[in-house]
């Protein structure tokens, strides 16, 4: 395996990780921002108020984006196995 192959493998692994995590993180960030604005305007400083909606949003994002995340991981795994076959 050449250095270029290893660099490509690591670069693709990082990109796949970002592709898989991005929808969940972005949705969690949007929900957290919305709840923070709501807390600021109503002066409610309850910690569980931020945790529960984010948790629900993460579970919904996983349920909604599961097929996309699974296909992304499968494509990467198949490419890695194809690279292993070549050597």
Which whole number is the average pLDDT over 3-21?
92
Handedness of CA 30, 32, 35, 39 (dihedral sign): negative
Q: Which residue has the tokens 């349920």?
A: 63
Q: How confident is the model at residue 64 (pLDDT cuts 50, 70, 90)?
A: very high
Encode 10-39: b = buried (16+ Cβ within 10 Å), e = exposed: eeeeeebeeebeeebeebbeebeeebeeee
pLDDT at res. 66: 96
Which whole number is the average pLDDT over 30-42?
91
């Amino acid at each position: 395996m050449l250095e270029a192959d290893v660099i490509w493998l690591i670069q693709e692994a990082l990109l796949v990780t970002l592709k898989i995590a991005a929808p969940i993180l972005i949705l969690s960030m949007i929900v957290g921002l919305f709840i923070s604005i709501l807390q600021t305007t109503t002066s409610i400083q309850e910690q569980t108020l931020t945790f529960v909606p984010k948790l629900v949003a993460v579970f919904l994002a996983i349920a909604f984006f599961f097929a996309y995340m699974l296909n992304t991981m499968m494509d990467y795994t198949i490419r890695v196995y194809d690279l292993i076959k070549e050597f």
